[in-house]
């Protein structure tokens, strides 16, 4: 049924309209609760599934609990598709921007531009005792992200901003530090979870990215682009630097295979503060590298591809959106 729905534009439009109602309703309810309700739901769901699997192992109860497992699975799938899954099939943002040929020269030129932007924005933020970027007022970053949702050009964004703070620290942050996950959107509660243990360079843009999901952008690279629009002209310097730095890293990642020498020359030209931030990120990644990172990277890649996306390590769509916007 949902496969057929995904091929009919008018039905996709109905799901988009339904999401506008659902997100405001859920955010009004769950934002008032200080912890992540979505994470508690996942914990309870995990306990329920473990209980069902134990029962399935017992021969006398196997048949009935296989049936119960299938019922739970179908209910979850139905609710997921109603609340979120069908948004993967909405009209791509690419169609709202002017056409432009994206070549190596254009990407390199934009990389040089964002290197300079990063150097400037890095000089305007606070450092810790080790000279690494430090956010001193996190609520101000959250407030600015929500406020900037309302400033996205109407020609690109037709979704309403609730301006409800439903950002939540992930209850699984110690575990997901080993998975490569920076944050995630919960489609059942409309909460945006983030890993509070991340280096501070990641955090403001992670909020902007997850808030793009809260607006109704399901595709990962489109959420990156909307996150960029939320942060790149921000009056909050922490958000602006984190956004500029994310864009620079994305551009470098897109060039690493085609022109590794150019990438190395850009990294060498980082400002001293940027180099310290990069080193802090590398230390965090090295400390938390392991099998979970490989597992979640693989499963996330499969998930993205199953929802008509390029995969977790592909930056081309975001870079295409970025270049088209910069030239418009």
Q: Report pLDDT for 299.
A: 38
127 and 78 within one domain: no
- Cβ density class 203-237: b for 16+ within 10 Å, e for less: bbbbbbbbbbbbbbbbbbbbbbbbbbbbbbebebb
77 and 189 within one domain: no
Contacts of 300 (CB under 8 A, 6+ apart): 181, 312
Contacts of 250 (CB under 8 A, 6+ apart): 224, 315, 318, 319, 322
Which residue's entry shows tokens 């959420």? 223
Backbone angles phi, psi at 190, to 5 degrees: 60, 25
Q: Report pLDDT for 103.
A: 84
283 and 163 within one domain: yes
Structural contact between residues 230 and 145, judged by C-beta atoms closer than 8 angstroms: yes
- 265: helix, coil or strand? helix
Q: Report pLDDT for 327.
A: 77
Token pair of 98 as six digits = 């002017």
161 and 244 within one domain: yes
Q: Report pLDDT for 291.
A: 53
Helix (H) or strand (E) holding 295: helix 291-306
Residues 33-80: tens digit of each pLDDT: 999 999 999 999 999 999 999 999 998 899 999 999 999 999 999 999
77 and 166 within one domain: no
In angstroms, the CA 294 to CA 309 distance is: 19
Q: Report pLDDT for 22.
A: 96
Q: Which residues of the chain have pLDDT under 70?
A: 290-315
**Which of 89, 120, 138 is the C-terminal boundary of a domain?**
89
- 65: helix, coil or strand? helix
Q: Report pLDDT for 71.
A: 96
**Which of 89, 105, 128 is the C-terminal boundary of a domain?**
89
Q: Report pLDDT for 52.
A: 96
Q: Report pLDDT for 311.
A: 42
In angstroms, the CA 165 to CA 93 distance is: 25
The total number of residues written for the chain in this structure: 328
195 and 62 within one domain: no
**Which residues form the domain of 18?**
2-89
Longest CA–CA separation in the chain, Å: 68
In angstroms, the CA 31 to CA 257 distance is: 43
55 and 169 within one domain: no
**Which of 89, 118, 140 is the C-terminal boundary of a domain?**
89
Q: Report pLDDT for 316.
A: 84
Task: Using CA atoms of 236, 238, 241, 245 in order, give the dihedral in degrees to the nearest 10.
Answer: -140
Helix (H) or strand (E) holding 325: helix 316-327
**pTM score:** 0.91
156 and 30 within one domain: no
251 and 183 within one domain: yes
Q: Report pLDDT for 178.
A: 87
168 and 35 within one domain: no
Parallel, antiparallel, or unpaired: how do β-strands 191-194 and 183-186 relate?
antiparallel
Domain count within the chain: 2
């Amino acid at each position: 049924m949902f496969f057929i729905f995904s091929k009919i534009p008018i039905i996709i439009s109905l799901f988009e309209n339904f999401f506008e109602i659902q997100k405001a309703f859920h955010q009004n309810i769950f934002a008032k609760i200080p912890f992540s309700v979505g994470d508690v739901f996942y914990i309870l769901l995990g306990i329920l599934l473990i209980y069902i699997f134990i029962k399935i192992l017992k021969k006398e109860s196997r048949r009935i609990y296989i049936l119960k497992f299938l019922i739970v699975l179908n209910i979850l799938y139905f609710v997921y598709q109603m609340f979120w899954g069908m948004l993967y099939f909405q009209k791509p943002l690419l169609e709202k921007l002017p056409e432009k040929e994206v070549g190596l020269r254009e990407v390199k030129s934009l990389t040089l531009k964002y290197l300079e932007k990063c150097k400037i924005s890095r000089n305007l933020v606070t450092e810790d005792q080790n000279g690494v970027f430090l956010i001193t007022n996190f609520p101000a970053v959250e407030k600015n992200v929500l406020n900037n949702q309302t400033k996205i050009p109407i020609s690109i964004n037709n979704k309403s901003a609730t301006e409800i703070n439903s950002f939540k620290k992930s209850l699984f942050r110690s575990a997901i530090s080993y998975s490569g996950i920076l944050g995630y959107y919960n489609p059942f509660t409309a909460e945006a979870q983030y890993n509070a243990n991340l280096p501070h360079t990641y955090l403001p843009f992670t909020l902007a990215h997850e808030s793009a999901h809260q607006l109704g952008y399901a595709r990962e690279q489109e959420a990156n682009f909307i996150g960029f629009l939320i942060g790149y002209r921000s009056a909050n310097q922490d958000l602006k630097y984190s956004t500029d730095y994310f864009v620079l890293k994305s551009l470098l990642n897109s060039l690493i295979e085609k022109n590794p020498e150019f990438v190395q020359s850009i990294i060498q030209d980082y400002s001293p503060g940027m180099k310290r931030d990069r080193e802090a990120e590398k230390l965090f990644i090295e400390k938390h590298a392991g099998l979970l990172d490989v597992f979640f990277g693989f499963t996330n890649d499969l998930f993205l591809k199953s929802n008509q996306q390029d995969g977790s390590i592909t930056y081309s769509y975001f870079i295409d959106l970025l270049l088209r916007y910069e030239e418009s």
